Amino acid sequence: MSPVPASRWFTCPRPRPGAVLRLLCIPHAGAGAGVFRGWGDALPAEVEVCGVQPPGREARLGEPAFDRMAPLVDALAAEVAAADDLPFAVFGHSNGALIGFELARRLRAGGEHGPLHLFASGRRAPDLPNPLSDVHHLPDDAFLEDLVALGGTPREVAEHPELMRMLLPLLRADVALNEAYAFAEAPPLECGITAYGGLADPKATRPETEAWRRHTAGPFTARFFAGDHFFPFGPARDLVLRTLAADLHDLLSRAARGLPL
C-alpha cells in the first residue's frame, strides 16, 4: 500500500494499488485538498489522485500556515521524497501552480526524483512580476472585499464573522506567500509543462499563461477554457477534467514509448 494516504500532507480518497502514476494536486490560496474531491473518478484508472494538504486548512486547520515559499516547499519536498513508490505528476492551481513549480526545482536541487510533468493552472508564469502587492496588509474589510471581487470567497462566507475569524490567518498567509515570492533564475525544468488558463481570468492572461513555455526544456502546451480565475471549479470543471484525462493518457502513452514527457 502507498505511504501517501498515511501522511498528513496528502489526502487520497481513492487509493489505487495498481496505479502507475500519482497525480499530486496542489490547491489555490485559501483552499485545501477538498477542492479536488471527485477528480479521481474522472481521470484514468492508472492514475492515483492525491490532494496536497498544507497546514492551516481542513484537517490541519489548527496548524499555522506558511507565509513564505521556501519553508513550505522544503517541508513538502521532504514528504514527496519519502513517498517515492510511484512516479508522479503535479497539478497546481494559482498559488498551487507556483508551489508545484518550486517543488520541482527543490527536488531537482536535492537530487530527488521530480515530477514527470507539471500542469500549471490559473497562474501567470513565475518570472512575471506580481501586479499587486501588500494586499495581505489591508484591513480586514478591504482584504476580504478584494478576495470576494476575485471570486474565490463567496460573499456569504466573507460576511460570516466566526468563520472568517478562523479563516483570516490562513487567507493572509496564503496571500503573503504569493506577494513575497521572488523568482530566481535557474535552468528550465526537464519535465514538460502544460499550462491551463481561463479565458476571462484577470490574474493570468493568455500571454502570461503562455509564458510558462520558457520554464521547461521538455514539451509545452497551453490550453484555455471558458471562465474566470476559478475555471477548474466552476462550469468548465467537466471539460477541464476531460482534458486533463486526455493529457494524462497521452503522458502515460509517451512514457511507455520512451518519449519526452
243 part of a folded domain: yes
Residue type (1 letter), 152: G
The x, y and z cell numbers of residue 208, run together, are 502570461
pLDDT of residue 112: 95
> Cell digits for 53?
494538504
Neighbouring CB atoms inside 10 A of 145's CB total 15
Establish if 156 belongs to a structural domain. no
Is residue 104 domain-resident?
yes
First to last CA, the chain: 26
Q: How far apart are CA 150 and CA 144, in angstroms?
A: 10
- Identity of residue 65: A
d(CA 204, CA 197): 7
Which residue in the list 2, 7, 94, 253 is annotated as catalytic?
Answer: 94
What backbone torsions phi and psi does residue 193 show, to the nearest 5 degrees?
-130, 135
What per-residue confidence (pLDDT) applies to 1?
37
Q: Is residue 67 part of a domain?
A: yes
Residue 166 resides in a domain: no
2 part of the active site: no
Q: Which sign, positive or negative, has the C-alpha torsion 44, 49, 157, 97?
A: negative
Tell me the three cell numbers of residue 202: 484577470
142 within domain boundaries: no
Supply the CATH number for residue 238's domain: 3.40.50.1820
In a domain, 47, yes or no: yes
Number of DSSP helices (H) and strands (E) in the chain, helices first: 8, 7
How far is 182 from 178, CA to CA, in rounded Å? 9
Q: What is the pLDDT along the chain (261 residues), one digit of tens a residue?
A: 344 546 899 999 888 888 999 999 999 988 999 999 999 999 999 999 999 999 999 999 889 999 999 999 999 999 999 988 899 999 999 999 999 999 999 999 999 999 999 999 999 999 998 876 666 566 666 666 666 665 555 554 556 556 666 778 888 898 889 989 999 999 999 999 999 999 999 889 999 999 999 999 999 999 999 999 999 999 999 999 999 999 999 999 988 887 776
Number of domains in the chain: 1
pTM score, whole prediction: 0.91
Q: What is the per-residue pLDDT for 117?
A: 97
Q: What is the pLDDT of residue 5?
A: 45
By C-alpha distance, which of 124, 89, 94 is closest to 27? 94
Contact status, residue 93 vs residue 126, Cβ threshold 8 Å = no
pLDDT at 98: 98
Question: What is the spatial distance between Cα 32 and Cα 34, in angstroms, rounded to a whole number?
Answer: 5
Domain containing residue 244: 4-129+183-256
- On whether residue 165 sits in a domain, the answer given is no
CA 142 vs CA 31, 113, 139, 161, 214: distances in Å: 20, 42, 6, 15, 36
Predicted local distance difference test score (pLDDT) of residue 219:
95
Model pLDDT, residue 132: 64
Per the CB < 8 A criterion, the answer to whether 218 and 261 are in contact is: yes
